[in-house]
Structure 1
């Protein structure tokens, strides 16, 4: 297994429970703690229930009662989060992404060997085995390699070459971090406050540990990642009000910031030989789609189930791809449709977003709007 993110942890745990001998390789020196709040619903919610981790996720979830969108003139528009949950049949949890990873990590069977600081730089595929080559020269062989090493997958580059060929940039950067502010934490309560203007947004919300979390995104002309994300953040979100100004002043050092491109990965095939891809390495839908974590868990569970049947690996890979690729394609399309609503670029797009938020509270229309934006209908088919 390459990658100890949501998908990698899911596949590793589920394969180990089904009798596989699993070595989980992660490039980072320790489990990552950076991340942002996600709405966890859809197929991943059902998969988590099937895996027996839903109770733990509920313990770690947040009670977000309201989302408030604040305009530059100080006026605001509120959305009752209970309505959003109701539109999903109550099957929705507000979770920090890192808490979802923590839950999956806690659920790993003891038999899984986890090696942090183990970056896979190449894969050598043979007829009857496959070898992962690590940055330090270590070689680990096995029956298969599951590449779940994220949107910037080194394994994908090793197998298929230039990653740019599969990388659909959506013209945005995103970031997240936490900081201390007792006064702002008390002010936020159980409300997620987001700015409401063109080309950039900042969301602020309180955490269980008393800290405040920032999640932000902005449009960029050049998608290349900045050398200093802290400086880029402070420049991109300047002049957005006093609360944002405090958050920018308390922006931590780059190592404690999550900063990345907003992009989708469109890989035409998800396996080659004894190597199969999972999660963002092959199916990144982007934060615009809203169900990346959900798809990572559900797709990871599906892959583990296929591999644990009576099929040879190549046949299991083919069934997994045939069943899951159309789901991901639908979700990616929904994410692209949502781009101008997530970060409006024109006054008309901003108006449209505000009207859409208002419609979410309508009894019947709200369900339709939710499905149209999130692609829920396609995922539940």
Structure 2
């Protein structure tokens, strides 16, 4: 049995590993010329940890995790207005909360592919797919030069929130994309001095309608994560110029990072993908292509691993094309409840993460400051864990 996976992100790479270990021939096609270096930090816990432990991926992820001690909110004057202790949060989540940068998660997933027998999985970068077609029970793909790429028994779309495969087989993007009224940007720069100031802490701006998060990485690098409200009808213009204008005056650290911003950083709509069905004949969607939960849910990486593991489990015993539809239905049955919980969490988080007015800002400060009281810290962190780790 042969599968083609479109997209070499977290979901695509982990799915390739699981299918390869089950004896499938797997070809992974990625549009980017190489692994993408930029991305934001994610908290990985709950269902993601459970799935990664079950499939043996957890050791690879723990090797690239960051040891975050606290998240601090800072106002424009540089004053810390509130903070959250990560150790309490980790304890309530069973002691296993990993802070992972998206490119590092992909690196760990590629490293884990070494467990697959040689020749079972092939990974190709820089492939531009021109056309995709169902031919009976088979799928056929052509590259941008018009040459046929491959024929397979199963086509897996893991090409992200703006999935071209989803558009080709399920319908236009606007039928499934649910914007949350925000955009998010992320980039990584070399800034050793600032890196030293941020050791083991997330530092977030305490501001209305915009939030800038920064954190120190290895080798003197600093990563930024910027979320802001944006009129969907407004012209966007150059990303770097827009970000400097919107986040001007947030605080000195953010101003410094924006000075170093690349001309075209990652900058995209914050949205969820909601679909009535994730599979059609010999085609199936996983990860953000099927059900983006939005970065506000904090569970995108976890859901990608869960989906890849569930798909691998469902297809692991398949030995004929006739068994594929039932396996895909089983994958959906397992994943639907997890996705529903994570998407609901993302929608609830929108206003607290990005307050619309000063009253919302003050309320967030009050909640976070209350975690310093005996017992309240465990209550607040416990509610977060219960809401997300189902």
The number of aligned residues is 377
Kindly indicate whether the alpha-carbon contact (under 8 Å) linking 1:83 and 1:360 is maintained by their aligned counterparts in 2: no
Give the match for residue 181 of structure 1.
Answer: 191
The runs of 5 or more residues in structure 2 that have no matched partner are none
Kindly indicate whether the alpha-carbon contact (under 8 Å) linking 1:120 and 1:132 is maintained by their aligned counterparts in 2: yes
Secondary structure at the aligned position of 1:344 is classed as coil
User: Cα deviation per residue 1:69-105 (whole Å; 9 max; x = unaligned)?
Assistant: 0123443212211112122121101111110100101
Partner Cα distance (2:383, 2:248) in 1: 33
Give the match for residue 21 of structure 1.
Answer: 25
Once structures 1 and 2 are overlaid, which stretch shifts more, 57-66 or 6-15?
A: 57-66
Give the match for residue 147 of structure 2.
Answer: 138
Give the match for residue 4 of structure 1.
Answer: 8
Give the match for residue 70 of structure 1.
Answer: 74
The runs of 5 or more residues in structure 1 that have no matched partner are none
Kindly indicate whether the alpha-carbon contact (under 8 Å) linking 2:75 and 2:251 is maintained by their aligned counterparts in 1: no
Give the match for residue 170 of structure 1.
Answer: 180
Give the match for residue 123 of structure 1.
Answer: 132
Give the match for residue 289 of structure 1.
Answer: 297
Residue 6 of structure 1: how far off its partner (Å): 0.5
Give the match for residue 218 of structure 1.
Answer: 228
User: Cα deviation per residue 1:117-165 (whole Å; 9 max; x = unaligned)?
Assistant: 1133442113221112333323221001011110000010101221111
1:174–1:369 Cα change, 3 Å: same
Kindly indicate whether the alpha-carbon contact (under 8 Å) linking 2:345 and 2:387 is maintained by their aligned counterparts in 1: no
Kindly indicate whether the alpha-carbon contact (under 8 Å) linking 1:43 and 1:379 is maintained by their aligned counterparts in 2: yes
Partner Cα distance (1:339, 1:314) in 2: 36
1:97–1:360 Cα change, 3 Å: farther
Secondary structure at the aligned position of 2:25 is classed as coil
Question: What do you get for the CA RMSD once the two structures are aligned?
Answer: 2.0
Residue 278 of structure 1: how far off its partner (Å): 0.3
Kindly indicate whether the alpha-carbon contact (under 8 Å) linking 2:90 and 2:96 is maintained by their aligned counterparts in 1: yes
* 2:158 corresponds to 1:158: no
Partner Cα distance (2:158, 2:168) in 1: 13
Give the match for residue 44 of structure 1.
Answer: 48
1:26–1:194 Cα change, 3 Å: same
- Scaled by the length of structure 2, what TM-score is found? 0.91
* 2:275 corresponds to 1:270: no
Kindly indicate whether the alpha-carbon contact (under 8 Å) linking 1:121 and 1:155 is maintained by their aligned counterparts in 2: no
Partner Cα distance (1:154, 1:317) in 2: 20
Residue 223 of structure 1: how far off its partner (Å): 6.7
User: Cα deviation per residue 1:261-317 (whole Å; 9 max; x = unaligned)?
Assistant: 100000111001100000000110001111010010011111111011248110011
Pairwise mapping of residues 1-381 of structure 1 onto structure 2 (< 5 A)? 1-76=5-80, 77-108=82-113, 109=116, 110-111=118-119, 112-139=121-148, 140-222=150-232, 226-254=236-264, 257-310=265-318, 312-360=323-371, 365-366=376-377, 369-370=380-381, 372-373=383-384, 376-377=386-387, 379-380=389-390
Kindly indicate whether the alpha-carbon contact (under 8 Å) linking 1:36 and 1:213 is maintained by their aligned counterparts in 2: yes
User: Cα deviation per residue 1:161-218 (whole Å; 9 max; x = unaligned)?
Assistant: 2111100001111111112222211111222111111000111111111111111111
Partner Cα distance (1:360, 1:230) in 2: 36
Residue 244 of structure 1: how far off its partner (Å): 1.2
Kindly indicate whether the alpha-carbon contact (under 8 Å) linking 1:47 and 1:297 is maintained by their aligned counterparts in 2: yes
- Scaled by the length of structure 1, what TM-score is found? 0.93
Partner Cα distance (1:350, 1:164) in 2: 32
Residue 3 of structure 1: how far off its partner (Å): 0.4
Secondary structure at the aligned position of 1:44 is classed as helix
1:225–1:19 Cα change, 3 Å: farther
Residue 57 of structure 1: how far off its partner (Å): 2.0
Kindly indicate whether the alpha-carbon contact (under 8 Å) linking 2:77 and 2:251 is maintained by their aligned counterparts in 1: no
Kindly indicate whether the alpha-carbon contact (under 8 Å) linking 1:334 and 1:372 is maintained by their aligned counterparts in 2: no
Residue 56 of structure 1: how far off its partner (Å): 2.7
